[in-house]
Amino acid sequence: MGKVMRQYNEFYIKLQKEFKLAHNMTIEAMPAKFSNKDYVKKFIYMFPDKISRLIIERNYWYGKRIIKKNLVKIQSKRMSLETNDFILETSKYIRRRVRKNILSIEERKTQADEIRKKSLAKLKLQTIKRKKSLDYIQEINPSYLEHYRKRFFKTHDLHERLEIIRELSKYDSKEVHNFFYAINGHVRNQSLKKEVQSYFQSLSLPFRLSRKKKGKTNFIDNEIVTNRKGPEELKKRLYIDDLEKIKKFDIFLSHNSKDEEKIITFYKKLNKNGQVVYIDWVNDKYDLKREWCNTSTVDIIKERIKQSDVFVLYFSSKTLNSQWCAWELGYADAIGKKICIYFSEKIDRTIIPKFYFKYPKLLFSEDFMVKNHGQSDIPFTKWKENKK
């Protein structure tokens, strides 16, 4: 039996034990006579959090190449993660149990409803936790993903490898997940693997830290890798590190940080529109913390504007009180960037400086459109590609 199949067997047995209590509670809510279909239906009703966990685990394991090849063997061993199969297989002895006291219809219904209520509350908390993590992660692939992936396996510099992991941990996509799973399987340094583990745990996704490899160990296997943080360190990397130089963003999003919740909703829509957005507290969250702001921050912002195809200003009433927004807009204009402004709320035009109205407007209904003065609306992606 191969390594992955052994891991799967261990996982299946462990998951089976985790579901035991849920099965004991489900059987109490069943009548004296019931079919397999009735039992599965009742379990799904009572434990939506368990079903959600089962689906996530199934997608994780069935996505592995070795597991895919052995699915027939897995099914023949009755170790399938398909919902109906798993529920029936892990409850077969409990369902055969002779019960002396059968609850009344009303008691069974009350018990099932109470358990479902608690299960839904757990599922809600898990969903909130995942959403909160995703607020600061872009759900799209960066253009430099492939370059970073190749660079990771070519370099032996642990600090450079950590930099690559931390950069790609700012994105959530199937390609990033697969790359991080590969790191877990091939890299010997435990510190780097734990960095990957933290990423998956923050997103409530399945992850098993691979065991230390047997045989001769190298001193770097147990080295704890840490990189310096701060605007000065990032500024140095911007000028000398080609990993920083190759970064490209579709949009530099200028905004007032007090609009954070609105900005999260807005940039998620841009991600769905296929746009990789630069936001300082998302893309440079390790180095550009508000309390660290200094003269180096100015130079970093300049470079990030240069690395972006388009400059978008998210305009709200709070923008009027932001010196940064006005400065960033002026700099983007001075270096010839394409600029458009998204007016997020209705504000009295008389209190808005007139220079804001000289730029095209970014509109959003079902899709992003750009309204240029005296011209018909044009899709944002098309406008972005057109030469200035």
Give the Cα separation of 60 and 91 in Å (integer): 23
The rounded distance, in Å, linking the Cα atoms of 338 and 353 is 20
Provide the angle, in degrees to the nearest 10, between the axes of the packed helices 36-46 and 83-90.
Answer: 100
pLDDT in tens, the chain (388 residues): 578 888 899 999 999 999 999 999 999 999 999 999 999 999 999 999 999 999 999 999 998 888 989 999 898 989 999 999 999 999 999 999 888 889 999 999 999 999 999 999 999 999 999 999 999 999 999 999 999 999 999 998 999 999 999 999 999 999 999 999 999 988 989 999 999 999 999 998 999 888 776 665 666 677 888 888 999 999 999 988 889 999 999 999 999 999 999 999 999 999 999 999 999 999 999 898 878 888 899 999 999 999 999 999 999 999 988 999 999 999 999 999 999 999 998 888 888 999 999 999 999 987 899 998 878 899 999 999 887 6
Identify which of 356, 349, 272, 269 has the alpha carbon closest to the alpha carbon of residue 313.
356
Predicted pLDDT at 388: 63
Q: Note if the pTM is more than 0.75.
A: yes
> pLDDT value at position 217?
60
The pLDDT assigned to 163 comes to 95
Per-residue pLDDT, 93 = 94
d(CA 32, CA 319): 66
- The first and second tokens of residue 101, run together, are 């006291």
**3-class DSSP state of 385:** helix
Report whether 195 contacts 165 (CB < 8 A): yes
Residue 213 pLDDT: 64
H-run or E-run covering 285: none
Looking at the DSSP bridge assignments, the partners of residue 364 are 368
pLDDT of amino acid 366: 79
Say which residues have a Cβ less than 8 Å from residue 277's Cβ, sequence separation at least 6.
138, 249, 250, 251, 252, 253, 267, 270, 271
Distance between CA atoms of residues 78 and 100, nearest Å: 30
Q: Domains in the chain, start-ordered, CATH in brackets?
A: 3-134 (no CATH), 145-209 (no CATH), 234-385 (3.40.50.10140)
Which phi and psi (to 5°) does residue 308 adopt?
-105, 140
